[in-house]
Chain A
Amino acid sequence: MRKKKYNAIFGKYLLDSISIGMYNNPLMLFREYIQNSTDSIDELAKRFKARKSQSKRAIEISINGQNHSITIKDYGVGVSIYQARHMLHNVGVSSKKQGIDRGFRGIGRLGGLGYCDTLRFVTKASGENKYSISTWDCKKLKHIIANNKSSIEARNAIEQITQLELHSYKKNIQDNFFIVEMLNVKSSRNILLNVPAIKDYISQVAPVPFQVKNFSWSKTINSRLRLKVPKYSIYDIYVNGEQIYKPYKDTIIINKSLVDKIQNVDFIEFKHDEELLAIGWVANLALLGAISKASGTDGLRLRSGNIMVDNKEILSTFFREKRFNKYLLGEVHIINKLILNSRRDDFEDSVYKENFFNSFAKEIGIPFSRKIREVSMQRSLARTTAAAKDIVKVAKRITRNGYLSQFQKEKITNNLVQIKNNSTHKTQAIDKLINKLNKSRYIFQDRDIEIPDNTYSFLETMLDVIHKECKNQEEAERISNIIITKTKSMFARNETTKGAA
């Protein structure tokens, strides 16, 4: 049978799906552009190996609140004027290589299409006296897509909204750069112009360095990861002139009153059949609680090419309870074999993916879940023991001095019975104490002081009220004691006066 020639149509909605539809958080476009820049910087470094010092590892991001614009600039290899149309106006075509470069699908640069009116790529390759400007009219694209009457093809839509210009370059011919410009940026709740949020995002997601002065394990981690992870590299990323660092610190804040310190850093390898799939560093902590979210360091995070995969929750699934991941601090770096999906929130399904997650559960998820539960049990045990000791102390005090109120006596007796029921040893001693407690006297009962009957019953009622209403029994006791001392001194003085008389 003769096959009929058929040209498949790629409709306009395709552009929608691979730009705005790809990512669920607008900030992810920073990740996409930073990733392109890092590949470009690496490419330059490779080409000019001999003159390595020349390559600048900087990526400069400026957010302009007044103009509502964003620019992301790198000094990587740039795009030659001969390749500009091919590389910038084609979609799903990339000269990058899977397994070497971070991106390879040729769609990442379209991430900005949905969030601005105009998207521009300005780029120059070294040795050329011209530079290219590729302009994408995002407003027009939106219009085309929204127009139900038009069933234009994706290819024609790109032709209609793009424009490529060449300009002569007056400065140093050796210059090379790539600039992404987003003009008239629009995003829900203005997130794309929220500088602190952007800094925070980049510090956690992008391949930025550790801040050595805050994090003394930087050197150890860097040298080990450089040795083991082929794509482990670090770039100097600036947002409005400020360099961004990973947020790791030596001191870990768990909550207002609980602080932990990193004692050591363990390196854990994730293997399948002796093949190294990933390596991670995990801070040695006391596992006292979930690390504060505000620190930006809670949980083990997964990184590929030193860029975070998905969000910080991706590894949480492999703990017995998801929240346990938040007790840990560290990073897991994918070595190779695992291929990221185009959304960068997971890997393409493969035996390596399965084995990696398996290995993670085995090495980290399950053993740490167990440790966290053990620590928690020990702490609660320690808390109950401490509480029990306090109760015994009060009980002994009552047997010595008398009880302050009937309510207090009953409460302490009940607590002692509870302690007895929960403990396996010393039950006889507790029984003895309960007996003694039952026989104990009211604090004024010995009547070494003479209190009028109405004052006596008034005091009794008041002390009872204090013990009943005070949430803090220690405080109740303290106040009661002051009242008692004062009463005693008051009536004792009267007595001495009487005696003297």
Chain B
Amino acid sequence: MNKKILLVEPTYRTKYPPLGLMKLSTYHKGKGDEVAFVKGCDKKAGNIFWDRVYISSLFTWTWKETIKTIAFYNDLLFHFSGKIYVGGILASLMPDEIFNATGIHPIVGLLDNPQKIDQDDKIIIDRLPPDYDIVKQVENESFTYNNTDAYLGYASRGCIRKCSYCAVKTLEPKFIPYINVTRMVNSIKKIGGDKQNLLLMDNNILASSKFDAIIDDIKTAGFRKGATYGTTRRKRKVDFNQGLDARLLTESKMKRLSEIPLDPMRVAFDDIKYESTYVQAVRLAHKYGQKNMSNYVLYNYKDTPEDFYKRLKINIDLNIEFASDKNGEKTIIYSFPMRFIPLNATDRNIDTGNLHWNKQYLRAIKIILNVTKGPVMPGAEFFYQAFGSSEKEFKSILLMPDDFIRNRVVPNWRQISCSDKRLMPYVRKWKETYFSMSKSEEKALIRAVGPRDVDFIKKEYKSSKAKKVKALLKAHLDPMSFMINNNIKIIDNKDKECVKKSTMPFSANIC
């Protein structure tokens, strides 16, 4: 008898379509079942009796939304046991917590065993091609997935490393060095049509002993360098979106990688201690004509703000170096800062225990990065404007009130060559005061603004005797007065509005 299957993705923000649900869709459609896909808690789903409901999960910090969704569907199915299956990353990382919160014990890890969802057959669902059709059921004017024009898949599974900040060791504990990409691409093509790009989510492809065979497969599947897609003649791209391990990038492997249209190439720069390995890997990529690189830069793990800045700057310096190479490819590196969030954090705002960082710094970085929605611009001028020209200046920016960070430069800053004159007067004043501070005064300032707690700043402001500290704390408590006092003469409130408008946001300037 045909069953009615409901696939649910909780309403968290996500770029990638839910691959696990898409594979489950292929599985159930293959059995002749009716499959529907919804986003979040859909009341209309209550009009139908579902034989099974599958709920996916993503990052642990989507905890609240995920638990809410599970509870909603549990209610919808009148708490019938064995009808709701919860899986995915959060489910695999925190199964006991989910069980305690919902009474449903989730499926841990991959759908690589028919017993996990009580199948009456022996099909390995993880190896099935994803069903791209279901994605259209939830896409609308305000919500679309990215990367639906790509073959989504894997050429290997798991990772040989066991980095403490990474969940792969739990999610995919077994390293499987080879999965046939050509076959995967062909089976997707058969049911879902041809796709422009190839998105491979391998965790450590360079560790695979079958690396050469994998590159051959990718080429056979139609992804040679210069290959185009269909009648549009658009260039095809291959993306190992989980990044490549710099420590394993040999010249021969880079040579093989240069045979496919890798765009972008991603190499992680997680720790300053790997500087030489990292720089060597990037230079190797440059040597083999890699055009775009998007490199993950982990922060707030065990690093300091200073070494985070250093790593960003290394990429800028490399960009300058490659730009001046007249013969070779002008490789461009985009830094992609990634904040470390513990593997069991149910909320994004969590203290990781790294004493070098604090709430103020993290928020400040977020504000700076908001301009580009993530990556750091590769140009030196933009970089120094956004992050400061030295580690010390970087720190001075991190300590500013939010509005100062957002509105640092004058509207016509590009026409001014002197970098200091580009800044709004109040920012200059801030910097001046900050740079003239003694070590102990700086410490007092960091201690006061670090936790981003207004009451605490007020208290510190009252008890502090240092004039400079007091002045900067006042800026945090009342940024508008500080701006006005150090800006232009103000006559009445109307002018205050003018000040606000004239200080165009940093984002507007840079875009």
Contacts and interface: CB of A to CB of B under 8 A. Distances in A.
A358 B46 contact: no
Contacts, number: 21
A415 to B, nearest CB: 30
Contacts of B47: 366, 369-370
B80 interface: yes
Interface in B94-134: none
A367 B49 CA distance: 8
B143 interface: no
A300 to B, nearest CB: 15
A366 B49 contact: yes
Contacts of B78: 317-318, 357, 361, 365
A366 B46 contact: yes
A354 interface: yes
Contacts of A369: 46-47
A367 B78 CA distance: 14
B6 to A, nearest CB: 13
A362 interface: yes
Interface string A364-391: 0111011000000000000000000000
Interface in B37-51: 46-49
A444 B239 CA distance: 82
Contacts of B80: 354, 357-358, 361
Contact of B46 (A317, A318, A320, A354): A320
B81 interface: yes
Nearest to A366: B49
Nearest to B1: A273
Contacts of B49: 361-362, 366-367
Contacts of A361: 49, 78, 80
A261 B81 CA distance: 39
Interface size class on chain A is: 10 to 19
B81 A366 contact: no
Among A354, A357, A366, chain B packs the most CB atoms within 10 A around the CB of A366
A365 B47 CA distance: 10
Contacts of B81: 354
Interface in A348-366: 354, 357-358, 361-362, 365-366
Contacts of B48: 366
Nearest to B79: A317
Among B48, B78, B80, chain A packs the most CB atoms within 10 A around the CB of B78
B41 to A, nearest CB: 14
Nearest to A274: B1
Contacts of B46: 320, 366, 369
B441 to A, nearest CB: 61
Interface in B219-235: none
Nearest to B83: A358
A345 B46 CA distance: 27
Nearest to A318: B78
Interface string A293-336: 00000000000000000000000011010000000000000000
A357 B49 CA distance: 12
A361 B47 CA distance: 11
Nearest to B4: A362
B118 to A, nearest CB: 13
Interface string B387-428: 000000000000000000000000000000000000000000
A235 to B, nearest CB: 34
B2 to A, nearest CB: 13
A317 B77 CA distance: 11
A358 B83 CA distance: 10
A354 B80 CA distance: 7
Nearest to B81: A354
Interface string B44-84: 00111100000000000000000000000000001011000
Contacts of A318: 78
Contacts of A362: 49
Contacts of A354: 80-81
A450 to B, nearest CB: 58
B42 to A, nearest CB: 13
A369 B45 CA distance: 12
A370 B47 CA distance: 6
A358 B48 CA distance: 12
Contacts of A317: 78
Contacts of A320: 46
Nearest to A363: B49
B117 to A, nearest CB: 18
A362 B99 CA distance: 26
A317 B80 CA distance: 12
A240 B441 CA distance: 96
A325 to B, nearest CB: 13
A273 to B, nearest CB: 9
B81 to A, nearest CB: 7
B3 to A, nearest CB: 11
B45 to A, nearest CB: 10
Among A320, A365, A369, chain B packs the most CB atoms within 10 A around the CB of A320
A358 B81 CA distance: 10
A349 to B, nearest CB: 10
A4 B138 CA distance: 68
A362 B3 CA distance: 12
A320 B46 CA distance: 7
A366 B6 CA distance: 15
A354 B48 CA distance: 18
A300 B359 CA distance: 58
A365 B50 CA distance: 13
- The 10 lowest CB-CB distance pairs between A and B, nearest first, are A362-B49, A370-B47, A366-B49, A320-B46, A361-B78, A318-B78, A358-B80, A361-B49, A317-B78, A354-B80
Interface of B: 46-49, 78, 80-81
20 contacts: A317-B78, A318-B78, A320-B46, A354-B80, A354-B81, A357-B78, A357-B80, A358-B80, A361-B49, A361-B78, A361-B80, A362-B49, A365-B78, A366-B46, A366-B47, A366-B48, A367-B49, A369-B46, A369-B47, A370-B47
Interface of A: 317-318, 320, 354, 357-358, 361-362, 365-367, 369-370
Given A361-B80, A366-B48, 7 more contacts: A318-B78, A357-B78, A358-B80, A366-B46, A366-B47, A366-B49, A369-B47
